[in-house]
Structure 1
Amino acid sequence: MNQDRISGNWKQFKGKVKEQWGKLTEDDLNVVEGKRDQLAGRIQERYGYTKEQVEKEMKDWEDSSKYKW
C-alpha cells in the first residue's frame, strides 16, 4: 500500500495500528496521519524502543498483514 492510499484511508488504518500498538494515544495517531516515519517515532517514544527495534516490529507487522507503506 503506498503513502497516498495510507493517508487517504488513515481513519480505518489507524484502528489497526492502535490494535498493534495500544500505548499510542488518539492524539499520537492524529499527529501521525499516515506518515510512517512519524509513526515509528511515536512507537519509539511510547515503548522506549530503539530505532532498529521499531523498524523490525513495523516490518514484521507489515509482512503479516495487508497494511504496508
Structure 2
Amino acid sequence: MNWDQIAGKWDQAKGRIKEKWGQLTDDDLARIQGKRDQLAGRIQERYGYTKERVEEELKAWERDSRW
C-alpha cells in the first residue's frame, strides 16, 4: 500500500500504527494527520531509533499493510 492510500484512510491507519508503535499517543497521531515525514520523526523521537531504522520499519509496514 502506498502512502497516499494510507493517508486517505488515516482513521483506520491510526489503529494499526498504534499496534505497531504503541508508544505513540492519540495526540501524536492527531498532530501527524497522515504526514509520513511527521510520523517518521515522531517514531524516531519516541523510540530513539535512527532515521535509517525508522525508514526500514515504515517501508516494511507499508508493504505489509493490507486493507
TM-score (norm 2): 0.85
Q: Quick one: distance in 2 between partners of 1:8 and 1:46?
A: 24
* DSSP-derived class of the 1:49 partner: coil
Per the TM alignment, residue 2 of structure 1 is displaced from its structure 2 partner at its CA by 4.5
Q: Which whole-Å deviations, capped at 9, do the CAs of 1:27-52 have from their partners, x for residues lacking one?
A: 10000000000000000000000100
Q: Quick one: distance in 1 between partners of 2:51 and 2:3?
A: 22
Alignment length (residue pairs): 66
Q: Quick one: distance in 1 between partners of 2:21 and 2:33?
A: 15
Unaligned runs of 5+ in 1: none
TM-score (norm 1): 0.83
CA contact (8 A) 2:32 2:39 kept: yes
Unaligned runs of 5+ in 2: none
| Residue 38 (structure 1) aligns with | 38
